[in-house]
A and B are shown apart, each in its own frame.
Chain A
Amino acid sequence: MVMEIVDILEKILILAGMVTLGFAIGMLFNGIARKVSARIQNRVGPPVYQGFIDVFKLFGKKTNISHGWIFDLAALFSVSGIALAFLFLPVAGYSMLSTDGDLFLILYLLAIPALGFALGAGASGNPNAAVGVMRALMSMLAYELPLVMVMVAMMVYYNTTSLANIVAAQANMQWAFFIPIFFIGALVADMALQGMLMEKPFDIPIAPHEIATGPMVEFGGKHLGALMLYKMMGTVVETTLFVDLFLGGGVVLSVAQYGWLAYLVNFAVWFVLILIVFLIAVMIDNVLPRFRIEQALKFYWKYDALIAIFILIWIFAGVKI
């Protein structure tokens, strides 16, 4: 009994540590993205730890405004929802809760912070926020189609829906990225990732110059701090999802063989991989203009989904039943 409690406490501590790490990486990524954008534009740019400073400052604001308790739900749901989604991902092959859920669960868990955020934005009553949420939901509809097509193809190919199993299968065989059909799939999913991360050309939901950062228009102080945490963690979750699907979750050494060294190396590889995936998105962001929302929808449903259908047909014809 005592041992069980100690076990549970240990698990909780590890999970809390991992979530904290996730948030920390998210903040670091924010700084890195701004630094890289600055270097692309031939600027010096802020220090890489700028993300920490910003979040700390937002939570340190002396006064905060709220538009009522529905508005406050946004802060609660967005931080807790994204942390939960992170827990269900295998990180560098290390499974926190990922054996208790699967890809579908992660897709729907990602909707919790999004809907919570939308709830708060709607409750503020600002028309800009409402327009922004509409665009965000529509771009979600747009990028999910090619993404889920590729995911379904992978699930059928690996005959499992559990992300942990997909990562394990890639560790045993080869990374999906190096299978020709899923290399195309990775390109399709990378396009979807661009929309997921709300980077240009798909950043119309938060377009600061048109609708004053859209859903975030009424958020300030600690509310905005919570949303920044959500967005920063979101980059980690979404890039990790991509890395888990196509790059084997960054697993290069087997834990059974190398012990703690494997954990260390895998974590390093995972970090480098999500950084690369994220930086690709940032670089695309820096050179492209912005799509209107119906253009984004048409782009995803016409071109991206077309390639995804090709992958589905490939798997449909190739897999024996």
Chain B
Amino acid sequence: MKHEEWKKISRIMSKRSLWMVHFCTGCGAMEMPPVMTSRYDMERFGIFAMATPRQADVFLVTGYLAVKTLKRVVQVYEQMRDPKYVIGFGSCTINGGMYWDSYNTIKDLSKYIPVDVYIAGCMPRPEAIIDSFLKLMDMIDKGEAIGWQKYRKYYDQYKRNQKMAFEYRLDEVKPIKEDDKNES
């Protein structure tokens, strides 16, 4: 079998079996039960809720993230194994939502960990959640869901941003040197 075909099969398998770990700090967790249970039944797409990040493929961040929770989110994200995907859930992960001026919540999740799919809305409907998963599947199939590769590639930038948030203090943004570029 050719390498390409093998990769294709592998992609199909991983898109049909998305095990997720959801980080329920925000109000978005409330929308998950209907999605999982008989009304919307996400298991028919092979999506299954897992208890630990070690077993999971998809990371669902439901709602706002305080800086303190961001530490846990990063911890959990780094414990997941590649390939791994992140879905940002609700307005809070996009621009802070109703917490846009809170001193303690981050505003844009994609600055700290790579997000593959965002779901807009406050709250997003269960249909929107399912739609986002279908979109993610589509992206996996086409090889577009490459957040985990980005995290590896721009690891120092993500780490720098996380550090700024954790310390509540802007570091001077160093211009990317030519040597660093070559290394990454």
Are A and B direct contacts in the complex by CB distance below 8 Å? yes
Taking beta carbons and an 8 Å cutoff, which residues of A are in contact with B?
34, 38, 41-47, 50, 53-54, 56-57, 60-65, 208-209, 212-213, 216-221, 224
Tell me the minimal C-beta distance from B31 to chain A in angstroms. 17
Given contacts A50-B17, A61-B83, contact A45 B51 (CB under 8 A): no
Tell me the minimal C-beta distance from B143 to chain A in angstroms. 13
A22 CA / B53 CA spacing, docked (Å): 30
Collect the chain B residues with CB atoms within 8 Å of residue A62's CB: 81-83
Tell me the minimal C-beta distance from A37 to chain B in angstroms. 9
- In contact, A34 and B43 (Cβ under 8 angstroms): yes
- In contact, B44 and A61 (Cβ under 8 angstroms): no
- In contact, A53 and B17 (Cβ under 8 angstroms): yes
Flag the segment in B8-16, B108-116, B163-171 that touches A: B8-16
Complex partner residue of B38 from A42, A53, A224, CB under 8 angstroms: A42
- In contact, B13 and A61 (Cβ under 8 angstroms): no
Q: Per DSSP, are chain A's interface residues mostly helix, strand or loop, or mixed?
A: loop
Taking beta carbons and an 8 Å cutoff, which residues of B are in contact with A?
10, 13-14, 16-17, 19, 37-38, 41, 43-46, 48, 50-55, 57, 80-83
Number of A-B contacts (CB under 8 A): 83
Complex partner residue of A213 from B41, B51, B80, CB under 8 angstroms: B51
Collect the chain B residues with CB atoms within 8 Å of residue A216's CB: 52, 55
Complex partner residue of B51 from A41, A44, A53, A217, CB under 8 angstroms: A217
A224 CA / B57 CA spacing, docked (Å): 13
A45 CA / B46 CA spacing, docked (Å): 8
A60 CA / B8 CA spacing, docked (Å): 12
A56 CA / B43 CA spacing, docked (Å): 17
Given contacts A43-B44, A53-B46, contact A217 B83 (CB under 8 A): no
Collect the chain B residues with CB atoms within 8 Å of residue A47's CB: 46
User: Of all chain B residues, which has the CB nearest A211?
Assistant: B51
- In contact, B41 and A43 (Cβ under 8 angstroms): yes
- 19 sampled A-B residue pairs with Cβ under 8 A: A38-B43, A41-B37, A41-B38, A43-B43, A44-B43, A45-B44, A46-B44, A46-B45, A50-B17, A54-B19, A56-B10, A57-B17, A60-B13, A216-B52, A217-B51, A219-B55, A220-B52, A220-B53, A224-B54
Collect the chain B residues with CB atoms within 8 Å of residue A209's CB: 51
Collect the chain A residues with CB atoms within 8 Å of residue B44's CB: 38, 43-46
Complex partner residue of A57 from B13, B45, B51, B82, CB under 8 angstroms: B13
Tell me the minimal C-beta distance from A220 to chain B in angstroms. 4
Collect the chain B residues with CB atoms within 8 Å of residue A54's CB: 17, 19, 46
